[in-house]
Structure 1
Amino acid sequence: MFVWATAVAFLLSLLAVGPLRETSPTWLQSGAELVAVISLFALVCLLESSGNNTDRSNPAA
């Protein structure tokens, strides 16, 4: 659920920063940029934590 909410927040903020930049107010643009950065960070962290759960005791493997 958190992943989907983060993905939706990221896409909506990209719309506000990208193609809808001319029609959105400046406070929304700065907030959308912040939401885009935070949601991208959260998505990367979630992907890293749910990724490969192999044994990390041998880093050369």
Structure 2
Amino acid sequence: MLMWSTVVAFLLSLVAVGPLRGSAPSWLLSGAELVAVISLFALVCILESSGGNTDRSNPAA
């Protein structure tokens, strides 16, 4: 659930920063940029924690 809400927040903020840049107020653009960065960071953290190396016997691998 957290991952899907993060994806939706990222996509909506990209729409606000991208095609709607000319008609959006400046406070919305700065907020959308902040949401895009935070949601991208959260997506990377979620993907890193869910996948990757599942063999805990060899941490160097």
Root-mean-square deviation (CA, aligned residues, Å) is: 1.3
Structure 2 residue runs of 5 or longer lacking an equivalent are none
How many Å apart are 1:27 and its aligned residue? 0.3
Structure 1 residues 29, 49: CA separation in 2 closer, same or farther (over 3 Å shift)?
Answer: same
Matches within 5 A, 1:1-61: 1-52=1-52, 53-55=54-56, 57-59=58-60, 61=61
Encode CA deviations 1:33-59: one digit per residue, 9 max, x unaligned: 000000000000000000022225351
**CA distance, structure 2, for counterparts of residue 57 and residue 28 of structure 1:** 47
**Paired residue secondary structure (2:56):** coil
Distance in 2 between the 1:12 and 1:38 partners?
13
SS at match of 1:32: helix
Note the residue ranges of structure 1 that are not aligned, 5 or more in a row: none
Normalising by structure 2, what TM-score? 0.90
Instruction: Tell me the TM-score normalised to structure 1 length.
Output: 0.90
